[in-house]
Structure 1
Amino acid sequence: MKLFTTVLIATCALSARAGGLESLESFVKTVKTAHSEFTQVVTLPAKDGQSTRTKKSNGTFEFSRPGRFRFVYQKPFEQTIVADGQTLWLYDKDLNQVTARAQAQALGSTPAALIASAADLRALQADFVLAADADSDGLEWVRATPKAKDSALQFVRVGFRAGQLAVLEITDSFGQRSSLRFNAFEANAALAASTFQFKPPVGADVIRQ
């Protein structure tokens, strides 16, 4: 009886740890478009005797798999990030400046690739080592570690609730942590093609990298 109980507990634990990977695989396969609101909290590491500091922002997020997405930061500063399949655009309203980069070079092993760009799990595994983390806070977690040695990221954690994207946690190589929590997530939303088109505003400085 004791052996049976031990095996049962071990099996349940393995199943729980596999849950995050299964949720990620299902999410990539079945959620082709989405619309969501988000809140982002960036935690800056302590330095020079100062305590940790946090910055909060919010906005909306949309994607169409593979390779197209749009982040609109509304507060406290207005910024728009658009990937149209060819170019990654970043518009800073306060600076009236647009930065444009070739999308294929800019994305790769980035958090956006994890949730919006890849067509399947195999594509993600080309750039990340994926592993299930223990369930916590009512979420199933996946840890993604970039394979590129020169990546600006340490790792990314993706949390799913009932198979839907709930949280994205990013830790960069400097120890800065960023947590995005998604609200009112609408999977397979009907999105206009113009959602992922971007035209630099008249008068804005455009920097191409």
Structure 2
Amino acid sequence: MNGGGRAGGRTGGPILLLAVGLLSAGPPVHQSPDPWPVLDRASATYQTITSLSADFVQIVTNPMIGTPDTTRGRLYQMRPSRFAMRFTAPKGDRIVADGRFLWLYTPSTTPGQVIRSRIPEYGTTGPNLIGQFVEQPRERYTAEYVRADSLPGGGGAVDVIRLVPKGHDQPYSEAKIWVGREDALVHRVDIVESSGQERTVILRTIRVNRGVPGRELTFSPPAGVRVVASDSTRE
């Protein structure tokens, strides 16, 4: 019996040590997928686009106010410097970058005037709404793969990527872009602006390289509307 006990002890020792080692090791660490293949594909796809149009929903949350402001409409882009947002809610509001100036016409909040300024290189009201996130992303951002997700209404699978600017010249501290796995297009952008305001732009019914009606990319101030020009656009 003693011999059997010693044999059991010799066998049980390594097994016990192995069990303790497995318990102390904890759960396996899963490494996040590499975001760069997703971004590289989105960047390459964007370079093939000359024009784009899409229905949009924009949700702006101001931490000082709290209640989100939701607007809707149709977005148009003609690369490199023409861009427009025609709002259906609030109806009549327009944002137009005509290749020379950016026009902000929002009679729903500031009736009787339109603001004319230079076209911004970055931000949420100009031709680079999408391009700023997928043009040369390796040079401009640090990137993190957040998760796999899906678009509502059976819109397909997407990869969500978090971007943090390397420089300090952008008017936002970070952004998340939702890139379609099937088409490599950006379907949604979640932006944390430098002011702390959060802005989400969701694009649906995206059409690429089908042209844009010329009337959408030009703006003429309506009769009686005062043009407020920034210093950089005064003539």
Assess same fold via TM > 0.5. yes
Match of 2:198 among 174, 177, 181: 177
Q: Which residue of 2 aligns with 1:70?
A: 84
TM-score (norm 1): 0.77
SS of aligned partner of 2:76: strand
> Which residue of the other structure, out of 98, 103, 109, is the alignment partner of 2:122?
109
The CA deviation at 1:89 is 0.7
1:13 pairs with 2:33: yes
Identity %: 22
Question: How many Å apart are 1:204 and its aligned residue?
Answer: 0.4
Pick from 40, 55, 76 the counterpart of residue 22 of structure 1: 40
- Say which SS state the counterpart of residue 53 (structure 1) adopts: coil
TM-score, scaled relative to structure 2: 0.69
Matched residue, 2:70: 56
Q: How many residues align?
A: 189
| Alignment of 1:96 onto 2:112 | yes
Query: In structure 1, what is the Cα distance between the partners aligned to 2:163 and 2:102?
Result: 22
Give 1 or 2: higher strand fraction.
Answer: 1
Range with greater deviation from structure 2 (66-75 or 132-141): 132-141
Distance of 1:146 and 1:72 partners within structure 2: 29
Which residue is 1:3 aligned to? none
**Could you tell me how far 1:92 is from its partner in structure 2?**
1.5
Moved more, 29-38 or 192-201: 192-201
Query: Which of 138, 149, 165 is equivalent to 1:137?
Result: 149
Q: CA deviation at 1:201?
A: 0.9
Quote the Cα distance in structure 2 between the aligned partners of 1:100 and 1:147: 30
SS in 2 for 1:13: coil
- Unaligned 5+ runs, structure 1: 1-5
Which structure has the higher relative contact order (CA within 8 Å, separation 6+)?
1
Displacement of 1:44 in angstroms is: 2.4
Larger Rg: 2
Give the direction of change, closer, same or farther, for the CA distance of 1:36–1:129 in structure 2 (3 Å limit): same
SS in 2 for 1:194: helix
Cα-to-partner distance string for 1:38-77 (whole Å, 9 max, x where unaligned): 1112222267xxxx42121111101011111101122135
C-alpha RMSD of matched pairs (Å): 2.8
Mapped pair 1:37 → 2:49: no
Taking the aligned partners of 1:97 and 1:20, their CA distance within structure 2 comes to 42
Matched-pair contact (CA < 8 Å) for 1:87–1:101: yes
Aligned partners of 2:217 and 2:61: how far apart in 1? 29
TM-fit CA distance, 1:132: 4.6
Q: CA deviation at 1:117?
A: 7.3
Distance (whole Å) between structure 1 residues aligned to residue 47 and residue 178 of structure 2: 16
- The alpha-carbon distance between structure 1 residues 147 and 84, as it changes in their structure 2 partners (threshold 3 A), is farther
State the Cα distance separating 1:121 from its structure 2 match: 2.4
Task: Return the match for 2:225 from 199, 204, 209.
Answer: 204
Contact 1:69/1:116, CA 8 A, preserved across alignment:
no
Unaligned runs of 5+ in 2: 1-27, 151-157, 231-235
